[in-house]
Structures are given as C-alpha cells and as structure tokens.
C-alpha cells in the first residue's frame, strides 16, 4: 500500500516552519496524507496542478504560491502596516488545491492528468474545503480555501484570501500561457 508521512509532507513545504500553531501544521500534513492515500497516484510528486498545464506538479504549484504569497504578505506589512495572519495564509495555501489529488487521475502521458468522476461532479475546491472542515480548521481557513476557486460563489474577503487568490491565478495563467491554454484572465471578457 502506498503511503506518505507527516515528515515527507513537511519537507515538501518547508514554509510550514513559519506557522506558529503547530497543530495546524500537523492537521494540514494529515490531510495531504489522507488525500494521497485515497487517490490513485503512486508518488506524492506526481499529482498534477491542472489538466491544461502538463508537467506542473501540484507540489511545485503549491510551493510557488506559498513563496510568492509570503513575499507579498511581508511587503504589504512593511509598506502599509497591514496585519497579515501568516498561519492562516500559509495553511490555506497548503490546503487550497489538495483536492486535486483526489479530483484528478494520471493521464495516459506522463506529466498529465484527467478529471475523474469526482473532479467532474464536484466544484473545484469543494473537497479541500471538506477536508479543512473535517479536520476542524478555523472558519477563516475553511472560507479562504473555498474562496480561492474562481468557480466559487464565495469571494475572498480577507487580506489572506486575496493574497492566495491572486497568486494562484498568476501562477496558473503563467502555466496556461506556456501550454497554449486559455488564460483565467480571458474569462473576464
């Protein structure tokens, strides 16, 4: 049986060390472990970020958003004196796309994925929100995770939610541009 550990998950996302509430870190790692063991991927590095962006691992997408978001949060705090809850921000980012491990299956070509029945049935982000609720995360984290998805009827209404949303869209559109897919920004027309 395939498995992963809390230590392996923490190693994938070293910025979890910036989170003060270690219980949140433990629960976020437990969610990644549960999702990985429930999915059909055979290696934690193989789940892909998107069906339209081949060879972009979910882990690398998530890590890039964490790093960009931490930088943005630090800039916002320094330049404007705004408060940013780094625990909420980092944990929400770690969890925002964990659903893709169970929403998508490996494609026929290495480095690709296809939506499975769950991915076709549930709105993207639903399962991430479900996991966050199941593991009793604070409401602000659950709401931030749910609001990250463009298809969500919930709009981010916190600094942490906006930082996640815009960094996620920017990273996604870079990959879509490179792969020749329609940009998220194109949907604004």
Quote the DSSP letter at residue 109.
S
Q: What is the pLDDT of residue 80?
A: 99
Of 33, 158, 32, 149, which is closest to residue 87 (Cα–Cα)?
A: 158
- Structural domain includes residue 148: yes
Is residue 189 a part of any domain in this protein? no
**Residues in CB range of 73: below 8 A, 6 or more apart:** 84, 86, 89, 159, 160, 163
- Does 88 map to a domain? yes
pLDDT band, very low/low/confident/very high, at 189 (cuts 50, 70, 90)? low
Report the pLDDT averaged over residues 95-121.
Answer: 98
What domain range is 46 assigned to? Answer: 6-182
Identify whether 126 is part of a domain.
Answer: yes
Residues of the chain with pLDDT > 70, as a percent, come to 98
Domain assignment present for residue 187? The answer is: no
- pLDDT, tens digit (0-9, with 9 covering 90-100), for 130-163: 999 999 999 999 999 999 987 778 889 999 999 9
pLDDT of residue 154: 83
Q: Is residue 172 a part of any domain in this protein?
A: yes
Tokens standing for residue 95: 């969890």
User: How does strand 48-50 pair with strand 113-115?
Assistant: unpaired
Block residue for tokens 């939506």: 115
CATH number of residue 95's parent domain: 1.10.3210
Q: Model-level pTM? A: 0.96
Residue 50 lies in a domain: yes
Sheet strands (E) in 28-182: 48-50, 53-57, 104-106, 113-115
> What's the domain count of the chain?
1
Rounded Cα distance between 140 and 21, Å, is 14
Q: Which two tokens stand for residue 38?
A: 């429930």
Quick check: is 107 in a domain?
A: yes
15-20 average pLDDT score: 98
- Helices 139-147 and 86-96, axial angle in degrees (round to 10): 50
Q: Please, are residues 45 and 4 in contact by the beta-carbon 8 Å criterion?
A: no
Q: Is the Cβ–Cβ distance between 84 and 160 less than 8 Å?
A: yes
Cα-flanking dihedrals φ and ψ of residue 111, to 5°? 85, 15
Query: Could you tell me which residue, 186 or 69, shows the higher pLDDT?
Result: 69
């Amino acid at each position: 049986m395939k498995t992963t550990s809390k230590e392996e998950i923490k190693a994938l996302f070293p910025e979890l060390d910036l989170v003060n509430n270690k219980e949140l870190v433990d629960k976020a790692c437990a969610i990644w472990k549960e999702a990985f063991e429930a999915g059909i991927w055979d290696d934690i590095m193989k789940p892909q970020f998107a069906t339209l962006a081949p060879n972009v691992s979910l882990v690398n997408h998530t890590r890039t958003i964490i790093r960009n978001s931490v930088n943005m949060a630090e800039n916002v705090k320094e330049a404007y004196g705004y408060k940013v809850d780094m625990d909420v921000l980092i944990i929400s980012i770690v969890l925002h796309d964990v659903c893709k491990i169970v929403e998508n299956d490996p494609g026929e070509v290495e480095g690709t994925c296809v939506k499975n029945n769950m991915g076709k049935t549930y709105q993207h982000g639903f399962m991430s929100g479900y996991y966050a609720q199941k593991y009793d995360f604070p409401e602000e984290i659950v709401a931030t995770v749910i609001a990250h998805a463009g298809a969500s009827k919930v709009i981010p209404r916190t600094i942490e939610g906006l930082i996640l949303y815009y960094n996620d869209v920017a990273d996604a559109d870079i990959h879509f541009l490179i792969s020749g897919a329609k940009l998220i920004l194109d949907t604004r027309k």
